[in-house]
A and B are shown apart, each in its own frame.
Chain A
Amino acid sequence: MRPLPIIKLIFASFVVIFLLGPLVAVLPLSLTDSVFLNYPISGYSTRWFKELVTAESWRLSIVNSLLIGSGTTVLATLLGTLAALGLRGKRASLLVSTLRTVFLLPMVVPAVVLGVGMQLMFARYGLTNTYLGVIIAHTVVAVPFVLVNVSSALQGVDVRLEQAAASLGAAPPTVLFSVTLPIALPGIISGALFAFATSLDEVVLTLFVAGPNQRTLARQMFATIRENISPAIVSAAAVFIVGTIVLSLAMLAIRRRMA
């Protein structure tokens, strides 16, 4: 009818290709049998996936990422959920909005700036080159995601349900653990997943705070791209992309089930 829809279609397709193309294009290279990251692929093999689990540097970094990611998830989810409960139902006052801003600020402050400060301060307390130090650093940037997710989940909890439970004789802790938290669980779980993903992807703070023993997968990928790029990086990327899709589907499934 008019040329506009066709232009729209072409433009939108170009942007979608720009957004998704690189991610899709890179995946087949994870199965190359050559040491170069080039097309055309001469032959297929799983050697680079094997490299991920057999080469010491990759294996160690995967184990480290899982350890540090789990630690961060537990700490961030605990602190974030408690704070979200504390901030719940508060009328907007200067104190509340200041607290909220401070808690969300780690999303805004440039990672390098925070990294320099953490390295200086952590060195003073012997936290550099320790797992605890890396977990703490990751938790600082992961907590905002937990807080946002849990807060919005708590907003959806009907206060009358809690009042009903209390009027039937449930003690406050019973109300919290049997009514409030189960209803808010999807928010808590997605907050925890965000915290884990944040830790998994964190590079800059890790560069400043971690030692060679705490080298994470993201840090290892950074070094590989920078120093000697090899198809192992694409295999790691493929694992990440598949993991992202699985996690997003899991999150959707949880939301749908709980809704």
Chain B
Amino acid sequence: MRPDLSHRLKAALLLAPLLAFMLSFFVVPLVTMMKSAVSDPVATEALPRTARALSGWNRTDTPPSSAQTAFADDIRALKNDEQFGDLVRRLNSAQSGFRSLLGKTRRALDGSSATDLASIDARWSETSWWVTIAEAVASPWTDKNLLAAIDLERDAAGSITAMPEGASANRLIMIRTFVTSALVTFACILIGLPYAMVAASVEGWRRQVLLGAVLLPLWTSLLVRTAAWYVVLQDNGLINATLKGLGLTSGPIPLMFNRLGVVIAMTHVLLPFMVLPIFSVLIAIPRNLMPAAASLGAHPLRAFLHVLLPLSMRGVVSGALLVFMAALGYYITPALIGGANDQMISSVIAYYATGAANWGMAGALGLVLLAMTILLYAVYMRLTVEEQRA
């Protein structure tokens, strides 16, 4: 018992540093991102008294007079300009006009003990402004970003409805991400399956060359490969120059900043992930299966369709899952080779995070992408585990 215990303790001590590191810098960031998608703490933190005063209000009658006093107290208590700015942004994004209203109210309340807000601005006697505040302080959590990520919103009555046409393009971008990833996966199967079959059918240096051609790009920097495609695909790049030199075209064919360029470059990058799984399945197939089929009178095509192709399907499925999963989250290649209409979900997430500083939306879209990826990964893991058992 004792040596076993000390052995376990030793293993735990060896694992502890990486476990702590991954929890702190991998799990916590992901949780932070997910939390930012559903949290909306600005109003609840800035207006605690108002939150209590409005908690029992039905949002249709005139708000209770205690709410006015509470709100005035909350605003006076806000000494921090940054917090006030956050509150203004939060409320103004829900109902425009809050910027001027809050600014005016804060200046009037500063240094005075007035509680009659309507005398500062007549808008405080309208119910709609109080409804917005009540909604903002009701909960530090929100489903607004998650709904917006799939082009939904809540209407005035609080039920979920589709956003008006043209208000948001997230669904369009998700469909585009799926279509591009599917095109890339399809292109990889189309090229990768026969290529792996050829590589598995030859031996010696020929196989080494064919596999080396797959591995070398895999080891080469992604940016180098993207830069290379940039040079090859541009309007006066190698392909267009060759076509023109051969007299096949008069002007350049646009190969870049469009979907075609993105699919070509992404297929190049992801092809190894298709070829290698198929190849590893194919070399495990007994070599005498095809001759056996032939000896039983099967035409080579028939033998191929009924013997080799079904057996290689496991590799194709693994490869397709890997390629599709990687393609979904692609950022660099579409950002550099694609045009404005080829940007995928990752680009939108990056825009919300670095361009617009809208962490809620970045988190919500990130959550959608993460969920899709993990789902595909789980399917992939299940398949490979079954394979190992088989």
Binding site for B on A (CB under 8 A): 8, 11-12, 15-16, 18-23, 25-26, 29, 37-39, 78-80, 82-83, 85-87, 90, 99, 101-103, 105-106, 108-122, 124, 136-137, 139-140, 143, 147, 197, 200-201, 203-204, 207-208, 218, 221-222, 225-226, 229, 233-234, 236-237, 240-241, 244, 247-248
A103 near B22 with CB under 8 A, answer: yes
**Chain B min CB distance to A216 (Å):** 10
Mark contacts of B224-239 with chain A using CB atoms, 8 A cut-off: 1 yes-contact digit, 0 otherwise.
1111111110101110
Assuming the contacts A120-B32, A143-B18, asked whether A26 and B198 have C-beta atoms less than 8 A apart, the reply is: no
A22 near B223 with CB under 8 A, answer: no
Q: CA separation between A115 and B332, bound complex, in Å? A: 13
Across the two chains, which residue of chain A brings its CB closest to B232?
A: A22
B229 near A102 with CB under 8 A, answer: no
Q: Pull 9 A–B residue pairs with CB atoms less than 8 Å apart, ordered by A.
A: A19-B213, A22-B229, A23-B225, A79-B21, A110-B346, A117-B366, A122-B29, A218-B221, A240-B220
Across the two chains, which residue of chain B brings its CB closest to A119?
A: B353
B350 near A15 with CB under 8 A, answer: no
Interface pick from B9-17, B47-55, B94-102: B9-17
B18 near A80 with CB under 8 A, answer: yes
Contacts of B260 in A (CB 8 A): none
Contacts A19-B271, A112-B331 known; 5 new A-B pairs at CB < 8 A: A19-B217, A26-B224, A26-B227, A116-B366, A204-B332
CB of B169 within 8 Å of the partner chain? no
A113 near B228 with CB under 8 A, answer: no
B217 near A23 with CB under 8 A, answer: yes
Which of A8, A23, A236 touches B198 (beta carbons < 8 Å)?
A8
Which of A117, A118, A122, A234 touches B227 (beta carbons < 8 Å)?
A234
CB of B26 within 8 Å of the partner chain? yes
Assuming the contacts A12-B195, A120-B33, asked whether A102 and B22 have C-beta atoms less than 8 A apart, the reply is: yes
**Chain A min CB distance to B4 (Å):** 12
**Chain A min CB distance to B176 (Å):** 16
CB of B370 within 8 Å of the partner chain? yes
Q: CA separation between A21 and B359, bound complex, in Å? A: 41
Contacts of A110 in B (CB 8 A): 328-329, 331, 346, 369-370, 373
Mark contacts of B22-42 with chain A using CB atoms, 8 A cut-off: 1 yes-contact digit, 0 otherwise.
100111111111001000000
Q: CA separation between A200 and B199, bound complex, in Å? A: 31
Q: CA separation between A248 and B217, bound complex, in Å? A: 12
Interface size on B, residues (CB 8 A): 76
A201 near B325 with CB under 8 A, answer: no
A20 near B236 with CB under 8 A, answer: no
B227 near A233 with CB under 8 A, answer: yes
A112 near B15 with CB under 8 A, answer: no
Assuming the contacts A112-B329, A117-B32, A201-B223, asked whether A207 and B354 have C-beta atoms less than 8 A apart, the reply is: yes
**Chain B min CB distance to A24 (Å):** 9
**Chain B min CB distance to A162 (Å):** 13
CB of B363 within 8 Å of the partner chain? yes
A222 near B223 with CB under 8 A, answer: yes
Assuming the contacts A25-B238, A118-B29, A120-B32, asked whether A111 and B329 have C-beta atoms less than 8 A apart, the reply is: yes
Contacts of B350 in A (CB 8 A): 112, 115-116, 204, 207-208
Contacts of B195 in A (CB 8 A): 11-12, 15
Q: CA separation between A222 and B223, bound complex, in Å? A: 7
Contacts of B346 in A (CB 8 A): 110-112
Q: CA separation between A137 and B22, bound complex, in Å? A: 10
Contacts of B12 in A (CB 8 A): 86
A82 near B17 with CB under 8 A, answer: yes
Assuming the contacts A18-B268, A108-B377, asked whether A113 and B30 have C-beta atoms less than 8 A apart, the reply is: yes
B232 near A25 with CB under 8 A, answer: yes
A117 near B219 with CB under 8 A, answer: no
CB of B222 within 8 Å of the partner chain? yes
A16 near B213 with CB under 8 A, answer: yes
Contacts of A29 in B (CB 8 A): 231
A99 near B198 with CB under 8 A, answer: no
A117 near B198 with CB under 8 A, answer: no
B214 near A19 with CB under 8 A, answer: yes
Which of A90, A109, A208 touches B354 (beta carbons < 8 Å)?
A208
A19 near B268 with CB under 8 A, answer: yes
Which of A102, A109, A115 touches B353 (beta carbons < 8 Å)?
A115
Contacts of B381 in A (CB 8 A): 101
B213 near A140 with CB under 8 A, answer: no
CB of B209 within 8 Å of the partner chain? yes
B22 near A140 with CB under 8 A, answer: yes
B30 near A117 with CB under 8 A, answer: yes
CB of B294 within 8 Å of the partner chain? no
B336 near A222 with CB under 8 A, answer: yes
Contacts of A15 in B (CB 8 A): 191, 195, 213
Q: CA separation between A218 and B332, bound complex, in Å? A: 11
Contacts of B237 in A (CB 8 A): 38
A237 near B377 with CB under 8 A, answer: no
CB of B119 within 8 Å of the partner chain? no
A82 near B331 with CB under 8 A, answer: no
**Nearest 5 pairs between A and B by C-beta?**
A110-B329, A86-B14, A117-B29, A117-B33, A86-B15
